[in-house]
Amino acid sequence: MDSALKVNQGVPQPPEINPRAREIIKKKPGKSLAVPVYLEGIRKGDVSLLAQSITLIESTLEEDRKKARELVSACLPLSGNSVRIGITGVPGVGKSTFIEAFGTHITSTGHKLAVLAIDPSSERTKGSILGDKTRMETLANNPRAFIRPSPSGGTLGGVARKTRETIFLCEAAGFDTIFIETVGVGQSETAVHSMTDFFLLLMLAGAGDGLQGIKRGIMEMSDLLVINKADGDNIEKALQARALYQGALQLFPPPLSGWKPLALTASSIEGKGMKTILEAVEQYMRLVKENGYFKSRRAEQAVYWMRESIDDHLLSRFYDNPEIKGKLSELERKVREGKTDSFSAASELLKHL
């Protein structure tokens, strides 16, 4: 994670979160409404109630969580009818610019788009790589688009689970295309991959894989590589990179989907290449719906998330337990000072489960 961030030092990062997102989050009610009120709002495609429902999913209050569970269950039968696209790439590759361009193209073809994010930095630093800048202003003002920044805090698993539940709510509200954005530096890709149908990796020409901080595994799970910034003097280099990556993709074992991963070029700033990219996604969706992979993968994902929910629930039950909270730091100190060993300390704490 550090290496990718280091490489990108000096990439200009605009300062502020998009104003509309902040406005929507601000609408968080003091006390939450009744579940049927949220459900009705979602069914009608009311984005303000949708936003408030997502706040419920993100809440740590037990009362809100209970409502959120009810609401997600009620939305499940209304959800699923969408294309879920994971989008990743290191900071500076042009994710927000690309999402603006690609999202604008998608909405112009009549689709409704929800843009969600999983920000891995929120776990450790409580800060954010993805959220704290003016992002996607055009989309933020597009009535066919809904943008929601990453849930913050908690474990990556917890953040990812909330995002997955948010997908269901957005789908129930009529959004038929969902983007899940993350930053291309590690673990969070696996989480995004486990909740999407299609995985798109943004890259740049002229930098080796190592330099771009992209792990081989991330490239291997991608259905589409997009070499961004194919404009001006960079066009030739982008085309060369595309050929190089197309060759590299062929060396990976063929994916279970039956799809042959592609490399394409784009200029997000000029809005070029978007039509071809959408066609690739549509082609992929046709293929996997026909060969049954779409259905089996979504079923596998549902099982995976059941297990994740159990893990998440058990972890928070453990760490939120006041007795454990009280003893944890003391035992950590003892382990550090060699006064007790890790295993005894762990079993001492686990007794409280």
* Site for ligand GDP contains 96 (CB under 6 A): yes
To the nearest 10°, report the CA torsion of 225, 226, 232, 237.
0
* Site for ligand GDP contains 174 (CB under 6 A): no
In terms of CB distance, is 188 or 268 closer to ligand GDP? 268
Among the listed ranges 45-53, 84-92, 285-293, 294-302, the one in contact with ligand GDP (CB under 6 A) is 84-92
In terms of CB distance, is 75 or 263 closer to ligand GDP? 263
Smallest gap from Cβ 82 to ligand GDP, in A, equals: 23
Binding test (CB under 6 A) with ligand GDP, winner from 86, 94, 154, 261 = 94
Smallest gap from Cβ 54 to ligand GDP, in A, equals: 22
Evaluate the CA torsion angle 58, 200, 265, 293 in order and state its sign: negative
Question: In the structure encoding, which two tokens stand for residue 322, read together?
Answer: 């006041």
Binding test (CB under 6 A) with ligand GDP, winner from 41, 89, 151, 261 = 89
Q: Which of residues 260-279 bind ligand GDP (CB under 6 A)?
A: 267-269
Segments of the chain assigned E as strands: 83-88, 113-118, 145-147, 177-182, 198-204, 224-228, 262-265
Binding test (CB under 6 A) with ligand GDP, winner from 4, 51, 68, 95 = 95
Q: Is 179 helix (H, G, I), strand (E, B) or coil?
A: strand
| Closest-CA residue to 146 (of 183, 176, 119, 122) | 176
* Site for ligand GDP contains 196 (CB under 6 A): no
- Determine the size of the site formed for ligand GDP (CB under 6 A): 16
Site mask for ligand GDP (CB under 6 A), range 7-26, x = bound? ----xx--------------
List all residues 6 or more positions away from 144 whose beta carbon is below 8 Å from its beta carbon. Answer: 107, 111, 112, 113
C-alpha 246/C-alpha 204 separation (Å) is 14
Query: Can you say whether residue 213 is alpha, beta or left, with left for phi > 0 and alpha for psi between -120 and 50 degrees?
Result: left
* Site for ligand GDP contains 93 (CB under 6 A): yes
Binding residues for ligand GDP, rule: CB under 6 A, are 11-12, 89, 91-97, 228-229, 231, 267-269
